[in-house]
Amino acid sequence: MVKLSVIVPFFNVQTYAPDTLRSLRANARADFEFILVDDCSSDGTPELLERAVRELPGAVLVRHEKNGGLATARNTGLDAASGEYLTFLDGDDWLAPGYFAELLSFIEELGVDFVRADHVQCSGRARSVHRVPQGRRGVVLDPRDAILPADRSTSVDYAYAWAGMYHRRLLDDGLLHFKHGLRTAEDRPWIWRLHREARTFAVAGLLGVFYRRGVASSLTQIGDVRQLDFIHAFDQVIEETARDADADRLLPKAVRTYCAIISHQLGTIERFEPAVAKTLRSMSAAAMKRMPQDILKDALNSMDYERAARLRRVRRRTAGAEVSA
């Protein structure tokens, strides 16, 4: 029986994939499978993956005929997975030797639905440790309780799917798939759904995932229209949270986070193409209009002046344009 399924999407990462694949070999075990999803790469990545299937124990290669993005590639891997537990890695990141075995022992010992883990962010030669924003480690926790408070960074703000491990019952309950076609922020509605609907989780004080930041091909570095998918991702967070039995308690956190992300994107608007920048402004204003207005007002009043002013300016300009029209 397969104990752990590791889902690894790849797209045009021939420079980094060798490090990723070597780290998977250093984590291989007889009861582990590695589902390598080639999301229609056009560089040398497919050849590297073909070789990996021959050299990496438990490796399975799945190819997309059309590029679908990270969310869709992960879903392909989930559909092919047969393990009792599941986890993810991105095709340009890497692992410490034996990391998956350690994390698996942790989740099995506690018997929780999922675990979250710290990671090391790598920017060039610089390294920095990023920790799950939850102080209690190694104990069983209620995921719903970890969403709040609204005015602090919490577990739902640490949205990296690869920073953890998940029991198969979550997949069977429909909680592990991503929204098809999202090109960025795909982890956001996913992590919120996990925390609203799973029963138990824990935080492991393990460092074993190395996240490569600043990759030129990453969508976080490309100022095109695909970046605006964060709007669709957070709309999903708001819509699903609004239907929750605890909506009154949870929505302020969702709205505040959404506003903070919009303000961040507007604050770096110069990296976008002019037409995309214009669309970002109009989509941001429309998103704020869709939010519960009383909660939005409270969120803006609780933010620092610079971020709140940026959002209010976009709202005023759009409102003025509507009146002129």
Q: How high is the pLDDT of residue 222?
A: 52
Q: How high is the pLDDT of residue 216?
A: 55
CA–CA gap between residue 231 and residue 19 (Å, rounded): 33
Q: How high is the pLDDT of residue 316?
A: 86
The beta-carbon contacts of 303-310 under 8 Å, at least 24 apart in sequence, are 303/256, 303/259, 303/260, 303/263, 307/259, 307/260, 307/263, 307/264, 307/267, 308/263, 310/263, 310/266, 310/267
Q: How high is the pLDDT of residue 181?
A: 85
Contact 12, 217 (CB under 8 A): yes
Contact 191, 234 (CB under 8 A): no
Structure-token pair, residue 122: 């790598």
pTM of the model: 0.93
Q: Which of 11, 184, 34 is nearest to 95 (CA)?
A: 34
Q: How high is the pLDDT of residue 318?
A: 61
Q: Please, what are the averages of pLDDT over each run of 10 residues along the chain (325 residues)? A: 97 97 98 98 98 97 96 98 98 98 98 98 94 96 97 97 98 96 93 98 96 68 78 97 97 98 95 93 96 97 96 80 38
Q: How high is the pLDDT of residue 134?
A: 96
Q: How high is the pLDDT of residue 145?
A: 97
Domain edges within the chain: 4-217, 223-324
Query: Domain 4-217 is in which class?
Result: alpha beta
CA–CA gap between residue 296 and residue 293 (Å, rounded): 5
